């Protein structure tokens, strides 16, 4: 099973940049999207249906903001929208699809870069998300939790880490949260296959950051340890340029 995760920074904008042609070429079994910035009636799902995909959407109540989705070629056994937590579900941040013994979650963890209020919201979300995952694993032990985590885990995951001290997305408390997440038995699938530096998935639009590869790795496929032996490959697809992020891919034996 080939799974791609992509923060598209607006699905409607991405569709004007040959997104459908890119999807046809990559041909994943499952595509998880974040930051769709669209209500269900604003997305032309027929464009995806023509490629064989069914699309499941969880939009934010606020128009033009946040939102996650899962597109799949195989019919899921079950789809669950949200975390059963109104404060976070109002922002359209979590959607899950079950396929046999495998569950795939598309998550868009909040950014805290706009100020203290949103940073506090981000930390609250993280505090709720870990027990949500822990509880879910009791009934769905094989999880692929992919998306934009808005956190660089380690120094290798960010350019010039010494200059990023105190910056949201690389704060000690955020990185410690990922340490805790990992300690519960979650695996950063990309690092199973690639331990090299300067591998990023997001670049600022400012200062030619992408051209200079001055980036951050904040998009992940974290999988439960039960799936580690089923991992077949992982990659960052830097050639895709529909967004300030690029897609990330993992392959799992079904």
Angle at 8 between CA 7 and CA 11, to 5 degrees: 135
Question: CA–CA separation, 239 vs 248, rounded Å?
Answer: 11
Q: Which of 109, 87, 103 is nearest to 34 (CA)?
A: 109
Looking at the DSSP assignment, which residues form a beta bridge with residue 233?
Answer: 251
Q: Which two tokens stand for residue 55?
A: 């699309």
- Which residues fall within 8 angstroms of residue 14, CB to CB, at 6 or more apart? 8, 242, 243
Return left, alpha or beta for 212; rule: phi > 0 is left, psi -120 to 50 is alpha, else beta. Answer: alpha
Question: CA–CA separation, 232 vs 224, rounded Å?
Answer: 14
Looking at the chain, the number of H-run helices and the number of E-run strands are 7, 14
Choosing from 29, 44, 98, 148, which is the catalytic residue?
Answer: 148
Question: CA–CA separation, 230 vs 238, rounded Å?
Answer: 24
Q: Is 148 a catalytic residue?
A: yes
Q: Enumerate the active-site residues.
A: 148
């Amino acid at each position: 099973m080939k799974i791609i995760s992509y923060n598209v920074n607006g699905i409607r904008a991405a569709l004007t940049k040959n997104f459908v042609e890119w999807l046809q070429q990559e041909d994943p079994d499952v595509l998880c999207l974040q930051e769709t910035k669209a209500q269900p009636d604003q997305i032309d799902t027929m464009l995806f249906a023509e490629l064989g995909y069914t699309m499941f959407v969880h939009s934010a109540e606020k128009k033009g903001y946040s939102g996650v989705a899962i597109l799949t070629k195989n019919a899921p056994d079950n789809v669950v929208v949200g975390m059963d937590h109104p404060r976070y579900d109002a922002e359209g941040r979590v959607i899950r699809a079950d396929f046999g013994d495998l569950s795939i979650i598309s998550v868009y963890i909040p950014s805290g870069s706009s100020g203290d209020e949103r940073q506090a919201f981000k930390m609250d979300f993280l505090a709720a998300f870990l027990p949500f995952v822990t509880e879910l694993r009791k009934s769905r032990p094989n999880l692929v939790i992919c998306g934009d985590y808005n956190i660089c885990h380690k120094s290798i995951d960010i350019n010039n880490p010494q200059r990023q001290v105190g910056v949201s997305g690389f704060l000690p408390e955020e990185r410690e949260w990922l340490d805790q997440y990992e300690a519960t038995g979650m695996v950063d699938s990309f690092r199973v296959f690639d331990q090299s530096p300067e591998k990023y998935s997001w670049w600022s639009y400012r200062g030619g950051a992408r051209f200079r590869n001055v980036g951050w790795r904040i998009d992940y496929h974290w999988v439960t340890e039960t799936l580690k032996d089923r991992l077949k490959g992982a990659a960052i697809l830097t050639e895709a340029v529909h967004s300030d992020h690029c897609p990330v891919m993992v392959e799992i034996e079904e």
